[in-house]
Structure 1
Amino acid sequence: MTIIDRTTVAEHDFNTLTLVDCRNVMDDLTGSVDKVAEFPVAGTVHIPQYPWMFDREGLNRGRHPIPVKSVVKTLHEALSKSSMQMPVLFDGEQQFFHTRLYYLFRLYGLDALLWNDSLEQLNMLTASVGGTIPELPEADFTRTGDYTDVEVGLLVLMEDVKRAIQDEDVLLIDVRSRPRYLGIEEPIDLKMGHIPGAVNIPYGNFFRGGRINFGACNHMRHFLDSYKEIIVYCGSGMSATPPFLVLGEMGLPVRLYGGSFSEWITDDENSIESGDAPLNERILSLNE
């Protein structure tokens, strides 16, 4: 992964980059437009969530299905202007829409860069950006592609998770808030709790000063190294992408459960646990 921030920006020619504004409000088109308008960044193209970050008919069920290859590739081609430009994805503080899109590009073998610094810092640089702002394609094209198109080392499906919960060498990490993990509250989904055996490392633990903290889990290295595979999930596969990137940068064998908890609960045969998993006591002690 290539991260750009104020310390590495001099290594890149901004005239060869397409600045991609991924700021959104979850499932709220009007709110997303208003959010971008509050602090516009010049010379950028804004990407709405649907259909580019999730699509109604995708690779999985749940609230935000992963789009098939034709959707993601069509967007990437528009942003890269026939391979002449490199997309740079950015978002606001402690957000995940840019990491979701970055993950989708990687999932289908497409290149992009990730901005991990403040919007103010980025706005200072946009005056040097040349070229025209790309236009987004219409979203009514025919969808093509399936699970065989993805980098399988990055994604797991529900059936994979069903097998994983029986394997003590696989660690499931739930990155939702602690009350949602424990089954105390659930503001979105129809059932409460977590996938059996999953531990909880809340989403906010992976950030510092509003930006992704790629050293967030270094103190847990020995513990995480003891597993042959790590699967991260959230409510719908969106907010699990920053934790996925952090663990991946550590060189750990991590994959994302695309459907996440909102898909898991669609199968009544899937068990759900509430309260703390026994292993989570160790997680809590490591984070004290």
Structure 2
Amino acid sequence: MIIDSTDNNLRGTQFMPIDCRNVMDDLDASAAMVADTPYLGLHIPQKPWMFTSEGLNEGRHPIPPGSVVGGLYDALKQDTDAELLLLDKEDAFFHTRLYYLFQLYGFHAMLWNDACENLKDSGLTLLEHTPSFPDEVDESREVQPPDVSMLATLEDVEHAVGIDDVLLIDVRAHNRYLGDTEPIDFKKGHIPGAVNIPYSDVFESGRLNITSLEHLRPFLSEFRELIVYCGSGMSATPPYYVLESMDLPVRLYGGSFSEWIRHHDVETGVSTMHERMAKFEG
């Protein structure tokens, strides 16, 4: 459930704030940021809890196995009935990533889609207890398999390319989609046939705008399935939740562009499908 300071019906529910802020791929900078500007609750490092070296795909930030995600969830919940409430800074995706991972393996959490300062004044009951991380992850722990209705694999995307009723959505910056520049990966361009809805389009004043893509509903509703991707599967999670909130059939491609280019070529410029979508953008 995605909530903000206007959700008065949650008064009386106890919440455990979870600080998800991070600097991508920099554990030291992440720790320094958190120390310099403390948030409420325990800070969750990005690795191994949000991605691992050996995960479910071959992208830059593989989705962790269920044992890792389940181990984190158990450590946070312990014996409390408090709801986990995931926090992040503006225009961010680490809280949506962890929210996605919990949902992927059947664990319940809530996402705070508002400023941390507003949480302090929201009237919500916040748990003062701060849990600790497990000393090691029990890899033998049994959890349910990942929800295939949420997660698209490389094979799923290979099948989707060229299929008229499945739409691939690239949420990277437009110049990366076009192939004009690529600061991270070793190929430029996008997965063939994909349209571009930049990550920044789904935010307003630094927070997810659930209605930001309503103008595209007539176009998006033409497809049996939507598959959203980014560079490595991290920043695609905010657009994923905007599309999900529209009750559209969407999955996240976990490996994203960084996995695709290990196995396939890409295309540059604007796809024919993207030209079709442009008619709805106004």
2:101 aligned residue: 104
Structure 1 residues 279 and 212 mapped into 2: Cα distance closer, same or farther (>3 Å)?
same
CA deviation digits over 1:9-49, x for unaligned, max 9? 552435x221000000000111111222332124x000000
For 2:189 and 2:24, the matched residues in 1 are separated by: 22
Shift of 1:128: 5.2
**Alpha-carbon distance in 1 for matches of 2:261, 2:141:** 27
User: How much identity, in percent, do the aligned residues show?
Assistant: 51
| Superposed counterparts of 1:1-288, under 5 Å | 2-9=1-8, 11-13=10-12, 16-42=14-40, 44-82=41-79, 84-124=81-121, 129-139=126-136, 141-142=138-139, 149-267=145-263, 270-288=264-282
1: CA distance, partners of 2:259 / 2:54? 13
Please provide the CA RMSD for this pair.
1.9
Aligned partners of 1:4 and 1:115 also within 8 Å: yes
Change (3 A) 1:92 1:126: farther
Change (3 A) 1:133 1:126: farther
Q: Which amino acid in structure 1 is aligned with residue 105 of structure 2?
A: Y
Task: Out of 170-179 and 133-142, give the one that drifted further.
Answer: 133-142
Q: 2:99 & 2:119 partners in 1: Cα distance?
A: 18
Question: Once structures 1 and 2 are overlaid, which stretch shifts more, 156-165 or 80-89?
Answer: 80-89
Q: Which amino acid aligns with 2:158?
A: K
With over 3 angstroms needed to count, the CA separation of the structure-2 counterparts of 1:139 and 1:9, relative to structure 1, is farther
Secondary structure, aligned partner of 1:66? coil
| TM-score scaled by length of structure 1 | 0.92
Segments of structure 1 that go 5 or more residues without pairing to the other structure are none
- Shift of the 143–67 alpha-carbon distance from structure 1 to 2, 3 Å rule, reads farther
State the number of aligned residues.
282
Shift in Å, 1:287: 2.5
Q: Deviations over 1:72-125 (max 9, x none)?
A: 011111112245222100100010000000000010011000000112212445
Q: Which runs of 5+ in 2 are unaligned?
A: none
Mean Cα deviation higher: 52-61 or 135-144: 135-144
